[in-house]
Amino acid sequence: MTVIFALFSVTFLFGKSESISRVDFPNGFIFGTASSAYQFEGAVNEGNKGDSIWDKFTRQPGKILDFSNANTAVDQYHRFKDDIVLMKDMGMDAYRFSISWSRIFPNGTGEPNPEGIQYYNNLIDALTEKGIEPYATLYHWDLPQMLEDRYGGLLSNQVINDFEEYAFTCFKAFGDRVKNWITFNEPHGIAIQGYNYGIQAPGRCSILGHFFCKKGKSSVEPYIVTHNILLAHAAAYHSYHCNFKESQRGQVGIALDAKWYEPISDVDEDKDAAGRAMDFGLGWFLDPLLLGNYPLSMQKLVAERLPVITSEVSQIIKGSLDFVGINHYTTLYARNDRTRIRKMILQDAMSDSAVITTSSKHGVPIGERGASSWLHVVPWGIRKLANYIKDKYGNPPVIITENGMDDSNRPHITIEKALQDHKRINYHRDYLSNLSAAIRQDKCDIRGYFVWSLLDNWEWNLGYTVRFGLYYVDFKNNLTRIPKASVKWFKNMLISKRELSYRLL
């Protein structure tokens, strides 16, 4: 009775912020934060690291919104031990980080770099010493520049063998402690942002007649890149299962960026459009990986520009994952593109789906906006997405490998005000509530949730203009980490049932 009364008191004291907790998720459900090497580490010229395509991209004028770079970023290369203490203090179970390919192989191939291997050994050891489970991503967008120069990087099937060699090296060096591997992060983003629009590295496109990009073909290259990524992923997966699975007992997955697309009306053509939007987003990768071929809508609309998955290739790709990582942030409406004018003008991969997406319906936004124009707060979207994956793909194991929202980095706002990130608290509370419902009520097999991100960080072509972190990073004062209100919320939310009982008695 004392515990029940105390639980009521806690709910009353914390209000909405305690409406979701660890006990609303199954035993063994993993909570963590996520990061990437290029956005967090800094130290781009230390430890014998080679250049990546992002190092070159940031040196080109006009590519980064605030003209910044990630040469220092949040300096986790030197401060990882302190950052791990922050994770532990919050009660996080795991940390998802990425390994920089060009730290392991400065030239992309050849002899591994001992300094790079030692750095990640130190990071992994520090995590395990604190009881934080390491989740390692092998490729988070930072291809060695040498491979881009040598043969065109992801556009060449030579990258498949080089990635397999790199993955093998990492499995061998770190797999005794790392039991959860992610091959590629957001391959859809790589293909579209890097090869369709050219707004991210390596900056290839043709949609404006090479006005913005010097090289590229937006109607073809995204499909070639995706095909090579799928084959490279499968090669790494099979390498692990052949050489390391028996001794290391780990698992290998991939992290796919996935919006939910809601039909803007109940008319069949808009329902079909929403289905095509899912095909050209998530299905582009999950259909080959779980069903053995590209979606039929893609085969029809892309036609000869879509690489063919032969029966032999299908056998290699199909089933080549132990779990599906999902990076989910937002939801959009979808409607049929009847006129196809966009396709006629742009001649790019993004217009192939014959879908127009929008964030409003009859002038009403689908949800409150984050700092980034693409990010709208739509908590119910994550539940619909989870059920879509369950129903279409046979309920595979899923880990939410990224979820979060950003605030604007406004130079004139006080730090005290910036720390009161109640909008972020509400975001995570509501998304987690929908995720819990998907697990408990809908029986979706979801096993973990990673917040993007632990710290405010360098956000690719947006530079330092937005802040995703639970911890505020004072970029004007030695990169000091200061907890936002969301840190306290997560700390309370992550108290285990047992700890809560002890604290309340």
pLDDT, residue 8, reads 30
Q: Does pLDDT of 188 surpass 90?
A: yes
**399 Ramachandran zone, left/alpha/beta (phi>0; psi -120 to 50):** beta
Q: Does pLDDT of 2 surpass 60?
A: no
Element (H, E) at 180: strand 180-185
How confident is the model over 128-152, as a mean pLDDT? 98
Q: How confident is the model at residue 10 (pLDDT cuts 50, 70, 90)?
A: very low
Distance CA 321, CA 391 (A): 18
Query: How does 94-110 read in b/e, with b if 16+ C-beta sit within 10 Å?
Result: bbbbbbbbbbbbbebbe
**Under a CB-based contact definition with an 8 Å cutoff, are residues 406 and 467 in contact?**
yes
Distances from the Cα of 433 to the Cαs of 23, 381, 382, 436, 462, in angstroms?
A: 12, 12, 10, 5, 30
344/456: higher pLDDT: 456
The residues facing 375 across adjacent strands are none
To the query of whether residue 304 is one of the catalytic residues in this protein, the response is: no
Phi, psi (degrees; rounded to nearest 5) at 182: -120, 125
Query: Cis peptide leading into 483, omega within 30 of 0?
Result: no
**Under a CB-based contact definition with an 8 Å cutoff, are residues 142 and 37 in contact?**
yes
Query: Cis peptide leading into 453, omega within 30 of 0?
Result: yes
Residue 144: count other Cβ atoms within 10 Å of its Cβ: 27
Catalytic one among 148, 164, 262, 402? 402
Distance CA 296, CA 294 (A): 6
Residue 397 tokens, joined: 């194991």
Q: Residue 23, Cα to own-chain centre: how many angstroms?
A: 25
Which pLDDT tens digit goes with each residue over 203-217? 999 987 777 898 999
How confident is the model over 280-296, as a mean pLDDT? 98
Distance CA 331, CA 383 (A): 11
Distance CA 82, CA 130 (A): 11
Residue 335 tokens, joined: 């409607």
**Considering only CA atoms, which of 255, 320, 322 is closest in space to residue 96?**
255
Catalytic one among 41, 133, 164, 186? 186
| Helices marked H in 67-177 | 76-90, 101-104, 114-129, 145-151, 158-174
Which pLDDT tens digit goes with each residue over 487-498? 999 999 998 654
Distance CA 349, CA 44 (A): 33
State how beta strands 407-408 and 466-467 pair: antiparallel
Which pLDDT tens digit goes with each residue over 302-343? 999 999 999 999 999 999 999 999 999 999 999 999 988 888
pLDDT, residue 5, reads 28
pLDDT, residue 500, reads 53
pLDDT, residue 15, reads 32
Distances from the Cα of 354 to the Cαs of 55, 82, 311, 440, in angstroms?
A: 35, 49, 28, 36
**Considering only CA atoms, which of 275, 279, 280 is closest in space to residue 262?**
275
pLDDT, residue 413, reads 93
Q: How confident is the model at residue 346 (pLDDT cuts 50, 70, 90)?
A: confident
Q: Which residues contact 215 (CB under 8 A, 6 or more apart)?
A: 204
pLDDT, residue 343, reads 85
Which pLDDT tens digit goes with each residue over 224-250? 999 999 999 999 999 999 999 999 999
Least confident of 16-25, 164-173, 212-221, 457-466: 16-25
Distance CA 36, CA 137 (A): 8
Q: How confident is the model at residue 499 (pLDDT cuts 50, 70, 90)?
A: low
Q: Does pLDDT of 501 surpass 80?
A: no
Q: How confident is the model at residue 463 (pLDDT cuts 50, 70, 90)?
A: very high
Average model confidence (pLDDT) across the chain: 94
Q: Residues in the chain, how many?
A: 505
pLDDT, residue 49, reads 98
pLDDT, residue 262, reads 98
How confident is the model over 382-410, as a mean pLDDT? 98
Q: Does pLDDT of 20 surpass 90?
A: yes
Distance CA 394, CA 388 (A): 10
How confident is the model over 460-475, as a mean pLDDT? 98
State how beta strands 331-336 and 323-327 pair: unpaired
To the query of whether residue 402 is one of the catalytic residues in this protein, the response is: yes
**Under a CB-based contact definition with an 8 Å cutoff, are residues 412 and 3 in contact?**
no
Q: How confident is the model at residue 18 (pLDDT cuts 50, 70, 90)?
A: very low
Residue 31 tokens, joined: 């909570």
Q: Does pLDDT of 111 surpass 70?
A: yes
pLDDT, residue 411, reads 87
Residue 20 tokens, joined: 């979701």
pLDDT, residue 342, reads 80
Map residue 466 onto helix, strand or coil. strand
